[in-house]
Amino acid sequence: MLTPEFVNSFREAAPYVNAFRGKTFVIAVSGETVRDGHFASLAQDINLLASFGLRLVVVHGIRPQIEGLLKQHGLTRRFHRERRVTDPPTMNIVKQAVGLARYEIEALLSMGTPNAVIHGNQLRIAGGNMLTAQPLGVLDGTDMQFTGLVRRIDVQAITARLEAGDLVLLSPIGYSPTGEAFNMTMEEVATHTAIALKAEKLIFLVDGRGVISLEDKLISTLTAQQAEELLASVPLKQDVAAYLPYAIRATREGVPRAHLVSSKEDGALLMELFTNFGNGTMVARDPLVKLRTASIDDIAAILGLIRPLEEQGILIKRSRELLEMEVGNYSVLEHDKRIYGCVAMHAYPDSDSAELACLAVSPERRDAGFGEMLLKHVEYQARTRRLKSLFVLTTRTAHWFVERGFVEASPEALPEGRRRQVNPERGSKVFIKTL
């Protein structure tokens, strides 16, 4: 039986499913996630993403697998500048670790049990020599030997497999033109791959929920600039501190969004991608909230915002035709390319004033300060036109405006043209703010 909660969740997710279809996502999975058994539920969610038509590249790590094998074989681990020094015996261990991790990941992604998300339509997994590597070389007198860097991503080969409907699984090991293998980091491979493929998203799976503030609260969205400032000023969990610089780099080099999402919380990846509020931390190059002048294409979204308020008597009813005629007076507020608020400003230059009208914010964003942003936007518009005051007529939101500097006034204070349009039956009160 379908519940109202399920229906609402399905409706909330539907626009994202449509927007993401055919887009490339790069998902970075740590070796710890595989070792600790958390990849099983992730594999089901990754299968679901594939069934939605997303093009997926999974990059896996192998750090704990290497550590376990080194200990098992009695070999010493060596690091320099937080990078593993990969001598020939260690390189043999790296190859073994890659095999163990890939076996586990491919097995879980290939589950064909009746309870599997896409049972009967098995996900194909592609891999191979798609990464060209180069040696890291000598750092501060230390020969890093078979520790390498990404030299080139074979975009053509990866794209061909994605277009064929395969999931591409990349390991942190690359090959040189001379036939040598080099050990690389998951973070670097995932970031280079996302940039080279012009991916829609780069996703790092972390132990916690994402970036946590000093007040112990999840930070759901950051610009690249804000993330850099946070790295310099706030102590972060080890994996978050390691991944965040790569998330910043990816967004600065063309990937629209990078995410840090829990690897342990069941369904966290789906909640981050298909709900309005998300479940982790999203990093974007530019601010996610934008205010702009409305266009004809925005009329449907504006109507969706104001109709419930009109039915409650909070706003006067406006026809679609009127909105289309006056659309140039409207502004909309977008968050991550979705419209969550609108407002109109009608200028009366002869009286040096303007009316703020049709202020509406989507219910799920009314605690996000969007109403305040729309008000300040109209105030700025009025000031740039050298208007002296802003007025509003309201029946139900008087206190909100009073708290923001508006003062009740007589209807006689309205411009003559606006005063003739007032419907006395609504009983609207007039509030004015001097700019």
- Three state DSSP letters for 112-175: CCCCCCCCCCCCCEECCCCEEEEECCEECCEECECEEEEEEECHHHHHHHHHCCCEEEECCEEE
331: number of CA atoms within 13 Å, CB side? 23
Q: Are 386 and 348 in contact (CB under 8 A)?
A: no
Chain centre distance of CA 23: 14
Strand, coil or helix: 253 = coil
Domains of the chain: 4-284 (3.40.1160.10), 289-434 (3.40.630.30)
Which DSSP letter does residue 364 get? G
pLDDT, average across residues 266-290: 89
Residues of the chain with pLDDT > 70: what percent? 97
pLDDT, average across residues 16-43: 94
pLDDT, average across residues 329-355: 93
In tens, the pLDDT along 217-254 reads 899 999 999 999 999 888 899 999 999 999 999 999 99
* Polymer length in residues for the chain: 435
What is the pLDDT at residue 112? 55
Q: Residue 124: which of 109, 114, 113 has the closest Cα?
A: 109
Q: Are 365 and 373 in contact (CB under 8 A)?
A: no
pLDDT, average across residues 34-62: 95
Beta strand spans in 380-423 (E): 389-394, 407-409
With both helix axes pointing from N to C terminus, report the angle between 88-109 and 63-72 in degrees, rounded to the nearest 10.
130
Q: Which two tokens stand for residue 359?
A: 């202020």
Task: Please give the mean pLDDT across all residues of the chain.
Answer: 92
What is the pLDDT at residue 113? 46
Strand, coil or helix: 53 = coil
